A and B are shown apart, each in its own frame.
Chain A
Amino acid sequence: MTSVVEQVERRLLAGTGAAGPGRLPVLDPSQIIGMARDAGLTGRGGAGFPVWRKLTAVAPGSVVIANGAEGEPASGKDRALLAYQPDLVLDGLQLIGMAARAGTAHLYAPKAALAPLRAVLAARHDRLPVTLHAAPDAFVSGEETAVVSAIGGRAAVPSDKRIRTVDKGFLVQNVETLAHLALIARHGPGWFRTAGTADEPGTFLATVSGAVRRPGVVEAGYGVRLGELIAAAGGPAAELRAVLIGGYHGGWVPADPALPVSRRALEPYGAAPGAGVIVALPRNACGLSETARIVGYLADQVAGQCGPCVNGLPRMAGTLADLAARRPEPGLAAEAQRLARLVSGRGACRHPDGTARLVLSAMRAFEADVAAHLNGRCLAVEGPR
Chain B
Amino acid sequence: MRLHIDWTACDGRGVCTELLTEMLTEDDWGFPVLRNGDTVPPPLDGAARRAVDRCPMLALRLVT
Contact = CB atoms under 8 A, between A and B. Distances in A.
**Contact size class for B?**
10 to 19
A311 B28 contact: yes
Contacts of A159: 8
Contact of A160 (B6, B12, B28): B6
B12 A348 contact: no
B7 A305 contact: yes
A274 interface: no
B16 to A, nearest CB: 13
Nearest to B6: A160
Contact of B7 (A307, A315, A342): A307
B9 A308 contact: no
A160 B9 contact: yes
Contact of B33 (A162, A346, A348): A346
Interface string A310-334: 0110010000000000000000000
B7 A160 contact: yes
Nearest to A352: B7
B2 to A, nearest CB: 10
B10 interface: yes
A305 B12 CA distance: 12
Chain B, interface SS category: loop
Interface string B24-64: 00011111010000000000000000000000000001010
Contact of B27 (A162, A308, A347): A308
Contact of A348 (B6, B28, B29): B6
A8 interface: no
A342 B30 CA distance: 12
Nearest to B7: A306
Contact of A346 (B4, B30, B31, B61): B31
A66 interface: no
Contacts of A306: 7-8, 10
A348 B7 contact: yes
Nearest to A342: B27
A172 B10 CA distance: 27
Given A342-B28, A346-B33, A162 B8 contact: no
Nearest to A307: B31
A310 B31 CA distance: 11
Contacts of B28: 311-312, 315, 342
Given A315-B28, A346-B5, 4 more contacts: A160-B8, A162-B6, A311-B29, A312-B27
Closest 7 CB pairs of A and B: A306-B7, A307-B31, A160-B6, A305-B8, A311-B29, A307-B12, A348-B8
21 contacts: A159-B8, A160-B7, A162-B4, A162-B63, A305-B7, A305-B8, A306-B7, A307-B7, A307-B29, A307-B30, A308-B27, A309-B7, A311-B28, A311-B31, A312-B27, A315-B28, A346-B27, A346-B31, A346-B33, A348-B6, A348-B7
